[in-house]
């Protein structure tokens, strides 16, 4: 009698999808049922692999023949993904059972051949920083910065790169108030916050962690935070792990943004963005960028407005810029600010250059502009013991009838801010003059000429050469100064 061999029924199912992470394979299950051979015998099955995932490149290849062990009705087939560096997305592996072995021979399985597919997820991704909006964990510690040209505040987001070329359309400066025992003891520690939007190329079904890593700055990396994915945009908020330092700082820092998809085991960086951090004992309110630039540059690393035993005061460090008129005070772009440098330009002269705003807009100003500028610079570092003084000829010095009294500056010794040739300006005789005086000590600071004197009397001796009686045609005569009562200092 002849025995007819009946092949078993073979089924293939996709059990688990895999990822390009270590220990995260995909899996098929091949099952046998029935047939002439007892399940106590091993069963060989020939397979074919297909799909857009490539064996040997995207996953470890399999032998052409797999064996279901004796005594078992199924076989788990493991697909081990290859963790490459290519952006591929999720790819499919299709496993089909084509033949089974019977009596040493393989028999084709009837169509449709049992088959199934599993996905192999890609853990590769790329990202670009589109925008960053900075702040602080204590809102009073972060301030807007005004543009020098008077057109308003620098906008947020503080970094904006819509075309993702790494060259932002907007990169705004940042202004913070530090906390220390001298300047702001009640503020407490201040940390930088950042709301970030990244443009992602990669899988949408992964958990993305984002952190910031400040380079050349006072922070270490922020703690990782889970990002929210909407379309191709990753949005996340992070906070620096370390607080701002307790000294004045003036620095441009690179901020590296790092993303992880394996719960923080590995991180990918897309280079750095730049942020101009300016911070000190800055009072609440909006300040011009050059005001912040000047008040932090020379006072970097200091914390005491008026100094102390063995300490350089913030006041003196800032005054160092004004004390040497050549080359003079520079704005944040490196342009020299001048004193009466474009006197002949009547439009610029008349459009507010006797104010801080005018000085910063035109890079040029009169004595009132320079005095107000020095006051603004000091006040942003918490120095509030100074005020503007107007210097007028003493009315007791009665001139000839109809002659106004002017004051004459010692021009050859005091060229003034931005004036490289002593006689470059057409006039050094003024109806009045503006300086800055400290309350209590009576120190006199003349930022227009870079002169400091301990008292008004000493300032007059160093800085003035005469009282000038001038008629309407500009002619007149000089009356040499005779004492400290030749002029009067009027607090403004």
How are beta strands 65-68 and 43-50 bridged, if at all? antiparallel
pLDDT at 421: 46
Contact 309, 342 (CB under 8 A): no
- pLDDT reported for residue 382: 83
Structure tokens at 271: 């280079």
Please state which CATH class domain 9-121 belongs to. mainly beta
415 within 8 A of 450, measured Cβ to Cβ: no
Q: Give the rounded distance of the alpha carbon of 465 from its chain centre.
A: 50
List the chain domain ranges.
9-121, 126-287, 304-491
Q: Considering only CA atoms, which of 75, 48, 65, 74 is closest in space to residue 101?
A: 65
The domains spanning 9-121 and 126-287 adopt the same CATH topology: yes
pLDDT of residue 423: 41
Give the mean pLDDT per block of 10 residues along the chain (492 residues). 70 86 88 75 91 90 92 91 83 92 82 90 86 90 90 94 92 86 79 92 87 70 88 92 85 86 85 81 80 90 75 86 76 87 52 78 87 93 89 78 70 66 54 87 86 89 80 70 84 86
CATH T-level fold of 126-287: Immunoglobulin-like (2.60.40)
| pLDDT, position 308 | 67
Rounded CA gap, 212 and 210, in Å? 7
Q: What is the pLDDT of residue 213?
A: 84
Q: Under 8 Å CB-to-CB from 321, ≥6 apart: which residues?
A: 294, 297, 298, 329
């Amino acid at each position: 009698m002849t025995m007819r061999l009946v092949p078993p029924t073979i089924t293939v199912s996709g059990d688990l999808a895999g990822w390009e992470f270590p220990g995260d394979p995909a899996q098929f299950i091949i099952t046998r049922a029935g047939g002439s051979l007892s399940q106590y015998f091993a069963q060989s099955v020939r397979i074919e692999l297909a799909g857009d995932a490539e064996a040997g490149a995207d996953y470890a290849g399999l032998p052409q023949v797999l064996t279901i062990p004796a005594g078992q009705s199924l076989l788990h087939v493991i697909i081990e993904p290859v963790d490459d560096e290519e952006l591929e997305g999720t790819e499919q592996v299709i496993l089909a059972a084509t033949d089974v072995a019977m009596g040493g021979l393989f028999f084709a399985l009837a169509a449709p051949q049992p088959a199934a597919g599993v996905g192999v997820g890609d853990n590769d991704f790329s990202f670009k920083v589109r925008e960053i909006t900075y702040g602080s964990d204590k809102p009073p510690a972060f301030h807007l910065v005004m543009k020098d040209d008077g057109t308003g505040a620098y906008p947020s987001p503080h970094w904006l790169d819509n075309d993702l070329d790494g060259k932002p359309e907007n990169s705004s400066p940042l202004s913070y108030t530090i906390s220390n025992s001298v300047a702001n003891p009640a503020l407490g520690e201040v940390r930088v916050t950042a709301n970030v939007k990244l443009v992602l190329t990669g899988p949408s079904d992964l958990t993305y962690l984002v952190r910031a890593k400040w380079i050349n700055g006072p922070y270490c990396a922020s703690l990782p935070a889970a990002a929210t994915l909407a379309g191709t945009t990753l949005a996340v908020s992070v906070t620096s792990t370390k607080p701002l330092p307790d000294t004045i700082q003036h620095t441009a820092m690179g901020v590296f943004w790092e993303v992880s998809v394996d719960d923080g085991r590995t991180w990918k960086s897309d280079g750095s963005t730049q942020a101009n951090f300016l911070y000190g004992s800055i009072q609440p309110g909006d300040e011009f960028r050059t005001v912040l630039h000047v008040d932090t540059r020379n006072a970097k690393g200091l914390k005491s407005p008026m100094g102390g035993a063995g300490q350089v005061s913030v006041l003196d460090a800032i005054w160092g810029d004004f004390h040497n008129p050549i080359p003079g005070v520079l704005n944040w772009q490196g342009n020299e600010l001048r004193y009466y440098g474009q006197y002949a330009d009547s439009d610029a002269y008349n459009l507010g250059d006797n104010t801080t705003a005018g000085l910063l807009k035109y890079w040029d100003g009169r004595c009132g502009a320079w005095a107000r500028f020095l006051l603004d610079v000091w006040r942003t570092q918490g120095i509030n013991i100074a005020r503007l003084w107007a210097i007028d000829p003493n009315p007791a010095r009665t001139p000839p009838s109809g002659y106004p009294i002017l004051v004459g500056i010692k021009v050859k010794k005091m060229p003034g801010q931005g004036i490289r040739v002593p006689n470059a300006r057409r006039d050094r005789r003024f109806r009045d003059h503006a300086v800055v005086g400290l309350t209590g000590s009576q120190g006199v600071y003349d930022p227009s000429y870079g002169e400091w004197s301990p008292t008004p009397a000493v300032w007059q001796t160093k800085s003035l050469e005469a009282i000038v009686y001038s008629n309407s045609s500009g002619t007149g005569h000089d009356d040499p100064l005779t004492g400290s009562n030749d002029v009067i200092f009027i607090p403004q």
